[in-house]
Amino acid sequence: MTWLITGGAGYIGAHVVRAMLDAGEQTVVYDDLSTGIAERVPSGVPLVVGSTLDAGTLARAIEEHSVTGVVHLAAKKQVGESVELPLLYYRENVEGLRVLLEAATAASVRAFVFSSSAAVYGMPDVELVTEETPCVPMSPYGETKLAGEWLVRATGRATGLSTASLRYFNVAGAATPELADTGVFNLVPMVFEKLTENAPPRIFGDDYPTPDGTCVRDYIHVVDLAEAHVAAARALQASPARALQASPGRDLTLNIGRGEGVSVREMIDLINAATGYDRPAVTVPRRPGDPARVVASADRVSVELGWKAKYDVQDMISSAWAGWVRLRPEAARD
């Protein structure tokens, strides 16, 4: 099969492209380069520059490269920004997905892997979040991911397209320094930034009902996440699409996490130790909408795909730090 990887020049997308190539799959990258970096695309992999809202460019890319499967990662993904710009997020994340699905099904693409998010769950009051935990997203970003799952699933049922929606938990780390995340929107790079500025890392609230009072999250190494995409793609490839309006292809909805919680305070302590800094955190007021604990149950993905995370939090921090220092040599400690 040939897989179109939308957002394949981005942080997660570039890792997925490499994992697919390592698995012997043919890939084509489709990216508007608004946040993606063309240099991340491996030599020999075609790069089509375009928006998922551009039906004509999508159709040509699918036809010219004989695409038979899609891994859709292209999306707007900043929770705070989505609150301020909901129309942008619905246009890019939902309408862009609709246009892509229309192009894919018109070309008889057989498999579709959708990048979803744990943000679909909102503030679950459970020890472990399963795929049956009610979805009550608390931001337009989370809403667009849940609506995307509905759209992907409905399209599969109507056309026979085999589909998988992967709900990512907190992604960190890098396969190599040049593939590291360049954004500062998640906890690990946010702590790196404060340390580099010789400022204390911030904890947003330490009065949560958790062992140390700070929020607990499930972290997943981006390399493990990329391998999960390969496993999902292989599973759908083994379950080819059916004829239009015949029985549907395979339909998977899976959490992608480690099933282990780490508190914000624990993460900051681990980052200080790994980077050679010793800068205690300061506590600031809670951010609205932050749940106390969101940790995945990873049982279903293990059963369905035979996938299990290999890397731990230390691996995530050390590999992310190598990428951070590559761009900011002044951050390194002797």
Q: pLDDT tens for residues 143-152?
A: 999 999 999 9
Helices (H), 238-293: 264-275
User: Do 267 and 148 belong to one domain?
Assistant: no
List, by residue number, the catalytic residues.
141
Token pair belonging to 101: 């699905």
User: Do 200 and 73 belong to one domain?
Assistant: no
User: Do 180 and 115 belong to one domain?
Assistant: no
* Full residue range of the structural domain in which residue 91 is found: 2-171+220-256
Strands (E), 159-257: 162-168, 170-172, 202-204, 216-221, 251-256
**Nearest-angstrom CA–CA distance, 281 and 189:** 15
SS3 163: strand
Mean pLDDT by groups of 10 residues along the chain of 334 residues: 97 98 98 97 98 98 98 95 96 98 97 98 95 96 98 96 97 98 94 96 97 97 98 88 55 97 98 95 91 96 97 98 96 84
Are residues 119 and 145 in contact, defined by beta-carbon separation less than 8 angstroms?
yes
Q: Count other C-beta atoms under 10 Å from residue 140's C-beta.
A: 23
User: Do 240 and 265 belong to one domain?
Assistant: no
Residue 50: give its domain's CATH number: 3.40.50.720
User: Do 63 and 196 belong to one domain?
Assistant: no
Tell me phi and psi for residue 284, to 5 degrees: -125, 170
User: Do 121 and 227 belong to one domain?
Assistant: yes
